[in-house]
Structure 1
């Protein structure tokens, strides 16, 4: 952002408060506002991200998160906790069904 700074202060400014000082004060104010905005953005109060293994071990929390995600998929479906809770539920379901991880079959014939 380019700021036009004339060499001389306008007549309406007092001699003790030059235009250059005003520009510096405005740029410091913008910087301060940016710092405050970034700080407040970091304090959004979001839940910490839990792992898939944590959700596997904590069934009530997993079910509560999945219910909350299902109630508001537009905002929460892509959140890390929703993804991890749903992944944990899917893995538990697959383990109950007896599915096993199998090694891939090499159909090309090369080793």
Structure 2
């Protein structure tokens, strides 16, 4: 019983590690429509390698690349 409780506790801690409570995940389309938020998030993502690999950062970075390449 203690092993199961320890495993459950470990899994819940690990699952919380990947979540960024300060930045709920947004879609690429959302970032395309919100310039100010996109630019702020891109800056944050570029300054933190751990965040840069998150889906939210990838969406912001992809949106920024699209705007840079093709405009709005």
TM-score, length basis structure 1 = 0.52
User: Structure 1 CA distance, aligned partners of 2:45 and 2:58?
Assistant: 9
Q: Partner of 2:67: helix, strand, or coil? A: helix
Cα distance, 1:48 vs. partner?
3.2
Corresponding residue for 1:91? 66
Find the partner of 1:63 among 39, 52, 57: 39
- The runs of at least 4 consecutive aligned structure 1 residues that moved more than 6 Å come to none
TM-score, length basis structure 2 = 0.75
Higher relative contact order (CA closer than 8 Å, sequence separation 6+) = 2
Provide structure 1 residue ranges, at least 5 long, that are not aligned to the other structure.
Answer: 1-27, 97-111
**Structure (1 or 2) with the greater helix fraction:** 2
Q: Partner of 2:25: helix, strand, or coil? A: coil
Describe how 1:69-108 pairs up with structure 2 within 5 A.
Answer: 69-72=45-48, 74-96=49-71
Report the structure number with the largest CA radius of gyration. Answer: 1
Deviations 1:48-79 (A, max 9, x none): 3211101011112111111111112x322222
Work out the number of aligned pairs and report it. 69
